[in-house]
Structures are given as C-alpha cells and as structure tokens.
Amino acid sequence: MSNLPSEPEFEQAYEDLASALEKSSFFKKHPEYRTALKIAAIPERVIQFRVVWESDKHEVQVNRGYRVQFNSSLGPYKGGTRFHPTVNLSVLKFLAFEQTFKNALTGLNLGGAKGGADFDPKGKSDGEIRRFCVAFMRELSKYIGADKDIPAGDIGVTAREIGWLFGTYKAETSLWEGCITGKGRAFGGTLMKPEATGYGLIYYVDHMIQYVSQGRETFKNKKVAISGSGNVAQYAALKAIELGAIVVSLSDSMGTIIPTGEEGITSDDRINIVNLKKQRKQLSELTRSHKDIFKYIEGERPWKHVKKVDVALPCATQNELSEDEAESLISAGCKFVAEGSNMGCSQGAISVFEKHRQSRKKGEALWFAPGKAANAGGSAVSGLEMAQNSQRAAWSAEHVDERLREIMKTCFQTGLDTAREYVESGEADGELPSLLAGSNIAGFCKVAAAMQVEGDWW
C-alpha cells in the first residue's frame, strides 16, 4: 500500500503512457527503458507556496500557489499557469507530465512544467486580479527565468494577467528577459500566440483527414463539434470555418449552444462569443439575444446532442468526454476525434475509440489523436516566442504560421511512424495506426534518451 496520497488525474496520465508502452513492442526491444519510466514519472521539483493578497474590502486573502518543474532533459522547464479553484497538485502534476512529452514531440528544446493557484478570477474585480498576480509572481519569480523555467498562460490567465505577471517579475529581478510567454506585442510577445493551439489542432486533424482519404478530402463541408469557448475552441472554430467546415457546437461550464441553421456557427457568431467571454459571461447570454439562431442546452456537453458529425474536438478541460458520449459520437458518424484540451477524453472514451479503430478499416473507423500531439501548437509557438526574445527579433504572422504548420506536421508524422514501428496492427488489412500509442511512445523515447545521456538513469 502506497504512503502517497491519491492523485487521480496524474495517475490517469501516467497509466495512459505506461499502458501504451506495455502494449507495444517498445519494452521488448528496449527493456532498459523500464528504469527510465520509473524515474521520468517523478517530477524533478515541486514548489508550493502561499499567496497573500488584499481584496477590495481591504481584507486579507490567501491562496495556494504551485509550480511543478517536471523534466528539464530537453531544455528549460516550459508550461502554462492556471488560475482556477480546481487547481491542486494532482492536476498540475498531470499537466506537467503531459507537457513534458508534448514539448518533446514539437522538436523544440523545451522541458515540461505547469503551475498556478486555486484562485478563482470569476467574480473578482480587475484590481483584485491584478493584486493577486503581483503577489503570486513575487514568490514565483525566485524559481523561474529565461533559461530556467518559462511559464505561460492557461485557464484564468490571459494576455492581461501575463502583462501583470511580467511586470512584477521585472520589478522583482531588474531583468527584462523572456521569462514568460503569451506576452503582448509591445513587450516581446509573438504574433499567432492566441491562435496557436486552436489553429495547430486544425492543422493536425487536416493531416489525419488527408491520410485517411489519401489526399482526396479536406475540412471542406465537414461537420465539426467543438466543446469549450475559450481561446482553443474559438480559434479552432475560426480556422475550421476558414477551411470550409461547418461548426455545429460550442460550450462552456454551464451548457452548450447548437446552431439551428445549416451553415453552423459563423465567423460573426464567433466574434460575438469572443466579446461575451471577454466580459466573463456565459453562452446562455448569447441565446437570449439570438434565440432564432442558437439552441441552448443547459448543463450539457455537446457530444450527445449533435445529430451528424464528422470531427469532434474536445477543447474545454480534462475528462470532458465520457464513455457513453464516445458511443454517441460513433452513432453520429464521427470519424475523427482530437483533444484540444489536455486529457480531454476519459479512459473509457479512449477505449471505445481505440476498439472502433481496431475493428474497422480505414475510412470506416474512428481515428483518435491524443492532446499531447494534437494540441501541441500552443507550446510550439511559445517556443517560437522564446526564440524571438533571444534574437531580439519580431517575426511576421506568416512566418510563425508556417513554422506552426511544419511543427504540427512533424507531430502527426512522428506519432504515425512510431506506431508503425512499435505497435502491432492490421495495417495491411486496412487498420489505421494508433496515434495514441505512437505519440506516447515517441515523446517518452525522446525524453528518456536525453535523460540517459545526461546521467539521470543508467
């Protein structure tokens, strides 16, 4: 019996990786890497601290702050910062663990980390959020830096909060450096950062579609169900619409909107949703002013309510797509599922998808892509922002987008090739390779090999 507390989110992420390795031929060909898995499963460093700040009523408030510096074998620690009441050590360990292998798949020299606090920005004034950011960074600044650990934004941490965090870091250290990504253009940010994860997700799925159709199909006229309404969901929807897809859903923590018209959610609708979310309002507000355009389903996710769908993109939070919802997507004709959120699908849902892939031929099967590959675009462009900061340069949006496309193609191809090498399949009979297994094995292999060379295991 373990003396460690239960950490369900982290345990699920670890099991996802370990089972992919065990079910493949990887350990048979490289048995010594079992030692690497034991060591890679433990973070290099976990930092926990109190954050004391003052409310508008001049009352003292306190929250728990964290930074999990999981692995630095490939480069400095890199990962987002989340402000949300559900933040705890298990959640951040899972996110940092996933981030480690996600960053490895991009081909950039980045380690893995994640941080944040159990602070809830909802219902707080701008002044309260700013004071919290200042208090948080005063402590965190002791442990990060441009060549040590480079945080970024995440849930509850937008470009505005990044500005306050960066300003506090500069005041505390007297250093103007690329200590954080997601910055505004005025102080070292990059073009394409807000769009990166959503756009990258669509670029990745486009490769899936083209592989299955042998280049005969694209996103054009594909019906795409998306959950969430934050940055990832918004920009995934925008790029899908640009490529000719029909977006049939978006959601938030309170419910789902489904368009009543055949054209789906339009670019103008998306702008209205962006403005709504900037005011921290719920999607239900939109349906009050657009009753004829949207159907609002309170307390529900979209997966059981989309009648016909080709592509499903969970972009909200972890474990948002359950086993029975996976069955519903298959019944709706879904052929592609890719996680825009980290670990967006439950283990049960993934099992349903993988069994369907194994039991049917290319073109008939549902093909699943894990978040560590499909949503790596945000991490990739954070790495590109770091490169621009080091060069004291500013790249064009076209150049950043081109690099993002290249990186997402690499993520897809690496997972595909690794699956073919280590996972037994009936590909000769038309079975699709497992992107789940291939992406997990490829990311782990790269990290573990660097750890061995650096003396972390032998």
Write out the catalytic residue numbers. Answer: 114
**Contact assessment for residue 352 and residue 418, using Cβ atoms and an 8 Å cutoff:** no
Q: Residue 369, Cα to own-chain centre: how many angstroms?
A: 12
Q: Which residues pair with 457 in a beta bridge?
A: none
Closest CA to 252 of 279, 224, 272, 226: 226
Q: What is the DSSP string of 31-59?
A: TTHHHHHHHHTS-SEEEEEEEEEE-TTS-
Q: Please, what sign has the CA dihedral across residues 215, 220, 224, 229?
A: positive
Q: In angstroms, rounded to a whole number, what is the distance separating the alpha carbons of residues 259 and 292?
A: 9
User: Among 249, 244, 227, 238, which Cα is nearest to 199's?
Assistant: 238
Residue 401: its H or E element: helix 397-422
| Contacting residues for 334 by C-beta, under 8 A, at least 6 apart | 225, 309, 310, 311, 312, 366
User: CA–CA separation, 310 vs 333, rounded Å?
Assistant: 6
- Torsion region of 272: left, alpha or beta (phi above 0 gives left; psi -120 to 50 gives alpha): alpha
Q: What is Dmax (Cα atoms) for the chain?
A: 69
Q: Contact 79/152 with Cβ under 8 angstroms?
A: yes
**Whole-angstrom distance, CA of residue 235 vs CA of residue 195:** 5
Retrieve residue 406's tokens: 């290249």
3 state DSSP class of 320: coil
Question: Which element (helix H / strand E) includes 324?
Answer: helix 323-331
Distance in angstroms (rounded) separating the CA atoms of residues 203 and 218: 10
Q: What is the DSSP string of 122-171?
A: TT--HHHHHHHHHHHHHHHTTT-BTTTEEEE-BTTB-HHHHHHHHHHHHH
Contact at 8 Å (CB) between 366 and 337?
A: yes
